[in-house]
A and B are shown apart, each in its own frame.
Chain A
Amino acid sequence: MSKALEKVMDAVDIETFLVCDSEEEAKKISIQMMNELGFSDASIVFIQHLGPGARVRVRGYIYKPGDRYNWFYNKKNNS
């Protein structure tokens, strides 16, 4: 995990507009985009396809409750 991502409290949301033909296509692109960005645990929070494309909000969890949060244990990260 990158040093920057260690400072994320729980999740990273990517919000954008995808040029695509359908919601199904938008879903595939969204997950592919997150995987390419290095988020293996990605889920779609919001998706709406109309006309030229889809408004999406995709989430990659860095930490879920009960994980070992680096921002919590690493003193440098708390400073």
Chain B
Amino acid sequence: MTSQKKKVLLAPLDPVHDIGLKMIKRGLDLAGHDTILLPPDYSPEEIIKAAIDNNVDVILISRTLGYRVAEILGSFIDLAEASGLRERVKIGIGGMAIKPELAAELGFDAGFGPGTTVEEAIAFVEGREYIEEDRGARKTKKDITEKYDYTFKNKRIEKLLNTIADEIIEYVKGKTTPGIERAKIREKMFESDDEAELRQLRKEYAAFCDDIVKAYYANGALKEKTRQLTSEELQALKSYLEKVKAKMKPLILQHIDTNPVVFIQYGTGCPFMDIAHIKTCEAWGADGVVHFDPSWGARTEGFYEGFITHEEDGSVITYENLKLIKDALMPSTLWQVRAHRGLNTPETVLLAGKVGADLTKINIAYGSLGGGTDPERLTVDAVAAIKYAARFKMPFDVVTNEELCGVPAHKAFAGMLIVTMLGLKLGARPILQPLFCYSPEVMISGQMKDNYIDFNAAKIFALKSILNAPIWCGAPIGFLTQTEDRVQSSLSTALHASLASSLEVDGISIASADEAYSGGPISAAARVDTLRATQSAFRFFGHAKIIPTENSEIWASQIVEGIERTLESVVKNGSFVDALYKGLLGSREEGAYPGRAGRGTVKNI
């Protein structure tokens, strides 16, 4: 106990409701105060009499019903004054019907509205200022790979993966690409502060770029719908961030320790709107944010420089843009810069690492079968990118979005596991990222005809039976189950979040309530909707589990068998790159097409 012991009378001035007072009584008892709790439905006169008889120091009144609230409370205060109590006893009022302004107007010493904490009431009783807990200080950055040792439980799959990953490492030896060369030059730029040398390096860099980027290095020209931000705009950002950062008291979404970390995705094109949305999501509890770049950026050789805004979806990757975002983040926020599908994969990981990103995203199979990049090119680039990820100690997720093209889960997972093994051999820390959604495979085959649980659960069971690795469900969870209705959309996201949590995964990426709306940009309000829904779902389930039906185990076994068959076919084929072209990890019939961007650009050194 930190203050003088008080005698407190707690009285519900209400026909039935007294739960709040019971909670406060418990808190006051634990804090060492003497408490008397009257039953509901006492009259003001009876309460005043009890206060006088017991010689109390403080009276706490509660009122839940709004009916005649001002009249009843006014009458109570009048009686307290007439009896002489008012001069020597502190009187506080709280409850659903109470607004602090009303309490002050009527002459109460304090008014506690909905959401008041027990600690706040105790501070009032003890006569000290209530200092709200700094929730931001409680938030810490979580390394979701920390507790995993990547031990393979399925030795057959481990052996197959070893063979394939060794073959890939051997394949890329002595090969380079424009993407790798640019990354090497960019590194030299980071190390140099000599203007003449930098000019020369920029010339060398431009030589490995597409014309649209060459034009920038030749005369500063940017492609249409992009422009450099002005110094006035950058100054405005600084002022905006100073004010917003000072006001941040972030919510915490997780109710129990095993609830997964929650990521949102941003990429409005405008770094300022991105930052405004990121700060909104951080405030409402998001643990991590994922940078989405423009689709043309992935198909263009080379990066611009400077602070650049873009009028369409996807925020342009430059060192300066990434730095703007990084500097806006709370220290606890996990930040991922994706590098999984384009012609700038090595340099993206380099920039992300240099700026201080926590995570990146690399997957050869998805990037070359569903992302439009040539399989050979992306294989060579990805090995270089994974080496950067390892050097910057930046875990990367291996996303399996080729499932959205129609590739069955077992083939997508085979590709994911190959890149995972490659990552482990190159010293990185990969994260498995299964799609947690209503995928084309199940739409056609009917595994989600009854529920959305079993097949998603089967995927997690399958992966957990293969190796001990972190799992981050993506992206976003519940994809293709959400509609334009924000209530349904938020509910579907929250249910998928609960399922992911029940399956004890480490992370999830959630959409906004605008996920299915394609008529315009995502609104900040729609982001708040799904974060609130997810928090509510975590609170609802706690440690309770969602129980899948027996189908989940059957399908998990089938997925594992399918992975083995796919890996065997890749081993038998002899070349991973060739297997991608041949469709062994996703065929044209299934909807996967080997990408063409960057084809023919791999060179022998």
Q: State whether the Cβ of B45 lies closer than 8 Å to any Cβ in chain A.
A: no
For the complex formed, measure the closest distance between the CB of A30 and the CB atoms of chain B, giving whole angstroms: 13
A65/B523 contact (C-beta < 8 A), A9-B280, A45-B484, A73-B236 known = no
Binds A, one of B132-140, B267-275, B297-305: B267-275
Contacts of A69 in B (CB 8 A): 272-273, 276
**Residue of A10, A44, A57 ringed by the most chain B CB atoms within 10 A:** A10
A65/B519 contact (C-beta < 8 A), A45-B514, A46-B485, A75-B239 known = no
Contact B269 A9 (CB under 8 A): no
Contacts of B270 in A (CB 8 A): 65-66
The distance in angstroms between the C-alpha atoms of A24 and B268, with both chains bound, is 31
Q: State whether the Cβ of A19 lies closer than 8 Å to any Cβ in chain B.
A: no
Contact B486 A66 (CB under 8 A): no
Q: Find A79's partner among B237, B243, B309 (CB 8 Å cutoff).
A: B243
Q: State whether the Cβ of A48 lies closer than 8 Å to any Cβ in chain B.
A: yes
Give the number of chain B interface residues (Cβ < 8 Å). 28
The distance in angstroms between the C-alpha atoms of A69 and B274, with both chains bound, is 13
Q: State whether the Cβ of B483 lies closer than 8 Å to any Cβ in chain A.
A: yes
**Residue of A9, A48, A61, A65 ringed by the most chain B CB atoms within 10 A:** A65
Contact B520 A61 (CB under 8 A): yes
The distance in angstroms between the C-alpha atoms of A66 and B273, with both chains bound, is 8
Contacts of A75 in B (CB 8 A): 239
The distance in angstroms between the C-alpha atoms of A46 and B485, with both chains bound, is 6
Mask of A54-70 contacts with B, CB within 8 angstroms, 1/0: 01010101011110010
The distance in angstroms between the C-alpha atoms of A45 and B268, with both chains bound, is 18
Interface residues of A in 16-72 (CB under 8 A from B): 43-46, 48, 55, 57, 59, 61, 63-66, 69, 72
The distance in angstroms between the C-alpha atoms of A54 and B448, with both chains bound, is 30
The distance in angstroms between the C-alpha atoms of A64 and B519, with both chains bound, is 12
For the complex formed, measure the closest distance between the CB of A50 and the CB atoms of chain B, giving whole angstroms: 13
Contact A11 B486 (CB under 8 A): no
The distance in angstroms between the C-alpha atoms of A73 and B226, with both chains bound, is 20
The distance in angstroms between the C-alpha atoms of A14 and B287, with both chains bound, is 30
Contact B521 A13 (CB under 8 A): no
Q: State whether the Cβ of B25 lies closer than 8 Å to any Cβ in chain A.
A: no
**Residue of B273, B514, B517 ringed by the most chain A CB atoms within 10 A:** B273
Contact A48 B268 (CB under 8 A): no
Contact B268 A65 (CB under 8 A): yes
Mask of B230-244 contacts with A, CB within 8 angstroms, 1/0: 000000110110011
Contacts of B519 in A (CB 8 A): 43-45, 59
For the complex formed, measure the closest distance between the CB of A43 and the CB atoms of chain B, giving whole angstroms: 4
For the complex formed, measure the closest distance between the CB of B269 and the CB atoms of chain A, giving whole angstroms: 5
Contact A78 B239 (CB under 8 A): yes
The distance in angstroms between the C-alpha atoms of A11 and B484, with both chains bound, is 16
Contact B240 A78 (CB under 8 A): yes
Contacts of A44 in B (CB 8 A): 519
Contact A66 B311 (CB under 8 A): yes
Q: State whether the Cβ of B207 lies closer than 8 Å to any Cβ in chain A.
A: no
Please, which residue of chain A has its CB at the minimum distance from the CB of B270? A65
The distance in angstroms between the C-alpha atoms of A73 and B264, with both chains bound, is 26
**Residue of B270, B483, B520 ringed by the most chain A CB atoms within 10 A:** B520
For the complex formed, measure the closest distance between the CB of B44 and the CB atoms of chain A, giving whole angstroms: 42
Contacts of B310 in A (CB 8 A): 66
Q: State whether the Cβ of B118 lies closer than 8 Å to any Cβ in chain A.
A: no
Interface residues of B in 268-298 (CB under 8 A from A): 268-270, 272-273, 276, 280
23 CB contacts below 8 A, A to B, read: A10-B273, A10-B521, A11-B520, A13-B525, A44-B519, A45-B484, A46-B484, A57-B484, A57-B485, A57-B486, A59-B519, A65-B270, A65-B521, A66-B269, A66-B310, A69-B272, A69-B273, A72-B236, A72-B272, A72-B276, A73-B236, A75-B239, A78-B240
Q: Assuming A10-B273, A11-B520, what are 15 further A-B pairs, CB within 8 angstroms?
A: A9-B276, A9-B524, A46-B483, A63-B273, A64-B520, A66-B269, A66-B270, A66-B309, A66-B310, A69-B272, A69-B276, A72-B272, A73-B236, A75-B239, A78-B240
